[in-house]
Structures are given as C-alpha cells and as structure tokens.
C-alpha cells in the first residue's frame, strides 16, 4: 500500500528566532514607544498609524533578511550619536546647527551634508572596485568583495545623512521640519541608497557579485547629478515645504514611488548586462542609436505634452546623450572580458523579472496614494499634470511588460531591450518632467 507523508511541521514565523532577532525587535519596539511618548502629542492619527505600522514591518524585514538588523541598529546608534553632538550646543530652537562646522565628528563625518558626501564617495569607489573585479583573477575576487562592502558602507552613510537631515530640519524652526524626501536633492539620496539596498539583496540571494558593476553605473550617475545639482543650486540647504507638500501623504507616497524607480533602474542595468552577453554586434550598435534616440524622443514628447522652451531642454539633454554613447562604446569594447564574468542568462532574466514585479507593485501603490494626496491638496484625484501623465506612461509600460511576460512568455532579447528602454521612460518621468516642464509637481526645476 502506497502512503504519503505530509510535512506538517513547517517552521512558523516565530520559530527558530535567535536572541539577536528578539533583541532587534525589542529595541525597535522600545524606540517606537519612546517616540510615541515624546512626540505623540504632535502627531495626528495618520502619523501615529504610520509609527505603529512601521514596527512590525521593520521587524519582519529584519527577520526576512538578517543583514538589515545590523544595518538598522548601526544607523540608529550613529544617528543618536550625531544628535547628542548637536545637543551639546543649543540655541532658541534647540540644537545649534552651527555645531556642524565646529564639532570635529559632525564637520567631517556625521552632519547630514558630510554623511551624504561620504555616501557619494563610497558609491564611486564601489563602482570602481566592481569593475576592477571584472579584470582581476577569480570569480569572487577581493575587488568584488571590497566593492560589495563599500556599497554597504555607502548605504549606511546615506541613511545616517537622511535621518540626521530630518533632525536638522526640525532645529531650524518649528514649522520647517519634515521628512527629507521633498526635493530633487533629497530624493536622489533616497534613490541611491534604495536602489543599492535592493541590489545587495539580490547579490546575497543569488550569490553573485558581478552584476554590481552594472547597477552601480546608474547609482553613480545619480550621485554625479546630485553633486552637480548641489553645486549649481545649493540644493543641500534645507528649505520650508510648499503648502502642497505639508502632508503626511508625502511620508508614504514618495518612498513607495522610489522603490519603483529604483527597481526599474536595477532591472534596466541587468538587462544591459544580458544584452552585452547575447546581442550581436549589429544589434548593439543599433541599440546605440535607439536608446539615446529614445531620450531625445522623450524630451520631444514631454515638450509636446507640456509646453516648454525646447532649446534649453535639448541643451540639457546633450550631456546625457553624450554620456550614454560613451558608456555604450566602452562597454562594447570590453564585452568579451565582462561577459565571461556575468552570471547565466537564466539568472539575469529572473533578477530582471523580480525587480520589475516588485517595482510595479510599489509604483502602483504610490500612484493610488498620489491620487488621494492630489484630492486633498488640489481638490481632484487626477489633473493630467505632466508628472501624472508620465507616471501613467511608466505604469502602462511596465504593466504591458509584465502582461507579456506572464501571458505570452516574454523572455530573452525582447524583454531585455524593453526593460532597457523602460529606463528612458522612467528617467524622464523621474527627472525630465522636473527639469523641462512646468506643472503642479514642479518642485525641482533646474
């Protein structure tokens, strides 16, 4: 007689937890309790809900991916240290922000601007070491390992800079403090560390580091723009929020949106690695025309959908187009060495799909939340503002990609080219609208 044994002893969520797991959960709970006791009177019902909901969410994330526990605790301890250094000097509003130029550790490491500059340096260094790793001997050589550790360090400094900036904003004046996701400077920091953190998860999950060289290219490009924008506009200065941004919706809408942007960018760079490994030279050189051409078409389409001065838009695109062409030529020149180190096509296809699936889910949530926010701020859920129009284009693009993947089995070159082209659309929705067009969302014009 045949018998079937059912495995009814599958471990539950709470089973097999280490002492560090429970310590992590207890510290998060204690921190949330302190925040409630200290600042609860200043919160509205929605903000209290966010605080309460964030505790089990962060515990679950830390238990799901254990490196997040150490990262969270290290960031928390370092931010508290930075705050204590500020609080040693006070003015009429609390901490004296002049300490950022007077206290050694704040000036060179822990003030928000110092930490973000360290983030930028570490991301550039990580990019360099990942690419050195392509040419060094060994599949998991020292350069690749150093690159990975530098990314962790960059994420750490980015989070420290973000939280310290949040604290600093509240010390300027009672009505200025806000979560630092309100302008191009702040969201570029958000984009950099969030994209990097998703990459680090895939790196650990698949146990392959060589995709880091590709993903770090888009992160380094965003950091380069961040530094240029800081110099051009002194964007690091903390400014009061415009009325439309003075809402708790910003705390959930913007991070959800940038999970989408970050994972879409990650998928596009994996697609680039995929195409370098499989595409014929003729197809690659055709892509050299097609992808930059897509940038130009996006600029022209944006100009047509939202009237703006076309000449400045084209001038601002010239550097981007030149950079894309130079990068593409360089990658094609070294593709033989690089292709020998990149992982299998099946693995890259899987990363691309999972990144887009995660990004699409969060981008959908962000779009719905944005509609509710728009109704509260402007009296209507949808106004066909240029930013809203391009967000819809991004959503439709990836909805179609996922539909073709799940219903028609989209794979290979077509999926990779589509994902790479999606980066053009996403970049314009993220950055181009703010740079070139005017509208209700024009908070970061150049």
* Claim to verify: residue 292 and residue 190 sit in the same structural domain: no
* Claim to verify: residue 83 and residue 117 sit in the same structural domain: yes
Q: What are the C-alpha distances in Å from 207 to residues 30, 38, 97, 139, 148?
A: 34, 43, 43, 11, 12
The closest alpha carbon to 266, from 206, 319, 323, 318, belongs to 206
- 111-128 pLDDT, tens digit per residue, is 999 999 999 999 999 999
- Note the pLDDT of residue 4: 46
* Claim to verify: residue 217 and residue 337 sit in the same structural domain: no
Specify if 220 maps to a domain.
yes
Specify if 382 maps to a domain.
yes
In terms of residues, how long is the chain? 446
* Claim to verify: residue 115 and residue 225 sit in the same structural domain: yes
In sequence order, what are the beta bridge partners of 236?
A: none
- Selected residue with higher pLDDT from 424 and 329: 424
The yes-or-no verdict on residue 5 having pLDDT over 60 is no
Question: What average pLDDT is seen over the chain?
Answer: 84
* Claim to verify: residue 217 and residue 328 sit in the same structural domain: no
Mean pLDDT of the 299-305 span: 55
Mean pLDDT of the 169-196 span: 89
pTM of the model: 0.88
Q: Where are the alpha helices (DSSP H) in 306-411?
A: 310-333, 335-339, 345-378, 386-408
Q: Which of 239, 272, 293 is the last residue of a domain?
A: 239
* Segment (H or E) for 91: strand 90-91
Specify if 244 maps to a domain.
no
- Note the pLDDT of residue 1: 43
* Claim to verify: residue 221 and residue 266 sit in the same structural domain: no
Dist CA 119 CA 101 (whole Å) = 19
- 69-114 pLDDT, tens digit per residue, is 999 999 999 999 999 899 887 766 667 788 888 889 999 999 999 9
* Claim to verify: residue 304 and residue 235 sit in the same structural domain: no
Q: What end-to-end distance do the CA atoms of the chain give, in Å?
A: 76
* Claim to verify: residue 213 and residue 269 sit in the same structural domain: no
Specify if 7 maps to a domain.
no
The closest alpha carbon to 254, from 443, 105, 43, 38, belongs to 443
- Note the pLDDT of residue 137: 87
Dist CA 100 CA 44 (whole Å) = 31
- Note the pLDDT of residue 338: 86
- Note the pLDDT of residue 354: 96
Q: What are the C-alpha distances in Å from 85 to residues 35, 111, 164, 436?
A: 19, 10, 11, 41
- 349-404 pLDDT, tens digit per residue, is 999 999 999 999 999 999 999 888 888 777 777 778 878 888 999 999 999 999 99
Q: How many domains does the chain have?
A: 2
* Claim to verify: residue 230 and residue 265 sit in the same structural domain: no
Domain with 269, as residue range(s), is: 260-446
The yes-or-no verdict on residue 153 having pLDDT over 80 is yes
* Claim to verify: residue 180 and residue 284 sit in the same structural domain: no
Q: What are the C-alpha distances in Å from 113 to residues 68, 106, 116, 182?
A: 24, 9, 5, 16
Specify if 276 maps to a domain.
yes
- Note the pLDDT of residue 200: 97
Comparing 55-59, 176-180, 183-187, 285-289, which segment has the lowest mean pLDDT? 285-289
Specify if 11 maps to a domain.
no
Residue 438's pLDDT band, with cuts at 50, 70 and 90, is low
CB of 295 within 8 A of CB of 423? no
Residue 48's pLDDT band, with cuts at 50, 70 and 90, is confident
- Note the pLDDT of residue 3: 46
The closest alpha carbon to 285, from 323, 321, 319, 331, belongs to 331
Residue 294's pLDDT band, with cuts at 50, 70 and 90, is low
Residue 303's pLDDT band, with cuts at 50, 70 and 90, is low
* Claim to verify: residue 229 and residue 297 sit in the same structural domain: no
CB of 287 within 8 A of CB of 279? yes
Comparing 198-207, 296-305, 315-324, which segment has the lowest mean pLDDT? 296-305
The yes-or-no verdict on residue 6 having pLDDT over 50 is no
Specify if 427 maps to a domain.
yes
The closest alpha carbon to 266, from 182, 337, 338, 350, belongs to 350
* Claim to verify: residue 310 and residue 179 sit in the same structural domain: no
- Note the pLDDT of residue 229: 85
Mean pLDDT of the 143-169 span: 96
Specify if 391 maps to a domain.
yes
């Amino acid at each position: 007689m045949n018998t079937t044994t059912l495995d009814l002893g599958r471990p539950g969520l709470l089973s097999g937890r280490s002492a560090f797991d429970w310590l992590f959960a207890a510290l998060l709970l204690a921190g949330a309790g302190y925040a409630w006791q200290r600042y609860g009177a200043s919160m509205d019902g929605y903000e209290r809900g966010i605080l309460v909901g964030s505790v089990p969410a962060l515990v679950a994330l830390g238990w799901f991916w254990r490196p997040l526990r150490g990262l969270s605790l290290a960031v928390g301890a370092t931010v508290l240290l930075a705050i204590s250094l500020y609080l040693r000097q006070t003015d009429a509003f609390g901490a004296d922000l002049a300490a950022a130029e007077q206290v050694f550790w704040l000036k060179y490491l822990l003030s928000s601007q110092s930490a973000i500059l360290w983030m930028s340096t570490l991301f550039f260094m990580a990019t360099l070491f990942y690419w050195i790793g392509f040419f060094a001997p060994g599949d998991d050589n020292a350069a690749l390992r150093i690159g990975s550790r530098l990314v962790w360090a960059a994420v750490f400094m980015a989070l420290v800079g973000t939280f310290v900036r949040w604290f600093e904003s509240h010390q300027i004046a009672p009505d200025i403090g806000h979560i630092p996701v309100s302008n191009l400077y702040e969201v570029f920091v958000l984009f950099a560390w969030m994209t990097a953190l998703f990459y680090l998860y895939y790196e650990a999950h698949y146990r392959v580091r060589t995709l880091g060289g590709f993903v770090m290219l888009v992160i380094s490009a965003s950091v380069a723009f961040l530094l240029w924008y800081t110099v051009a506009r002194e964007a690091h200065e903390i400014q009061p929020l415009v009325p439309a941004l003075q809402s708790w919706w910003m705390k959930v809408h913007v991070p959800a949106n940038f999970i989408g942007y970050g994972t879409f960018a990650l998928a596009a760079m994996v697609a680039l690695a995929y195409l370098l490994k499989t595409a014929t030279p003729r197809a690659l050189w055709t892509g050299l025309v097609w992808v930059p051409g897509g940038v130009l078409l996006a600029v022209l389409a944006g100009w047509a959908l939202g009237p703006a001065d076309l000449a400045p838009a084209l001038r601002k695109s010239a550097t981007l187009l030149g950079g894309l062409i130079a990068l593409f030529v360089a990658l094609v020149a070294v593709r033989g060495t690089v292709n020998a180190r990149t992982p299998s096509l099946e693995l890259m296809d899987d990363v691309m799909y999972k990144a887009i699936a995660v990004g699409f889910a969060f981008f959908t949530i962000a779009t719905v939340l944005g509609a509710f926010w728009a109704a509260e701020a402007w009296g209507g859920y949808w106004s066909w503002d240029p930013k809203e129009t391009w967000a819809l284009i991004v959503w439709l693009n990836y909805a179609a990609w996922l539909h073709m993947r799940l219903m028609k089995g989209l794979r290979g070159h077509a999926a990779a080219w589509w994902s790479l082209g999606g980066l053009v659309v996403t970049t314009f929705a993220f950055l181009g609208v703010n740079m070139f067009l005017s509208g209700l969302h024009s908070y970061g014009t150049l």
